[in-house]
Amino acid sequence: MKTLVVEEDFTSRLIMHKSLEAYGDVHIAINAYEAIEAFRSSLKDRSPYKLICLDVMMHGIDGKSVLKEIRSIEEGLGVTDSNQVKIIMTTAMRSNEIM
């Protein structure tokens, strides 16, 4: 399973990478810009990600905005809901800090 981990924090990135590498290729993006570029590149190469672990809180563009951009790209390409990349939003914050 081809996975993209989008995480600014080094330790969190390392833990997710180590946890997921047994299931296939794991690529890393350290910010929103890298994440969107990696996602577009994977589609262009016809080797899309199956899973994206996406940090909610990032400097600049946050994870929710990246999620919206990814879904917009998929919609523009006519990707059906059942074929969309699976995205898990991740955070080290308590749930009441996110809202």
The 10 Å Cβ neighbour count of residue 32 is 21
Report the mean per-residue pLDDT for the chain: 92
The one-letter code for the residue type at 16 is M
Those residues with Cβ within 8 angstroms of residue 77's Cβ, 6 or more apart along the chain or in another chain:
43
- How much of the chain, in percent, has pLDDT values that exceed 70? 93
Tell me the pTM: 0.89
Percent over 90 (pLDDT), the chain = 85
Place of tokens 């296939």: 24
Condensed to tens digits (0 to 9), the pLDDT of residues 26-52 reads 999 999 999 999 999 999 999 999 999
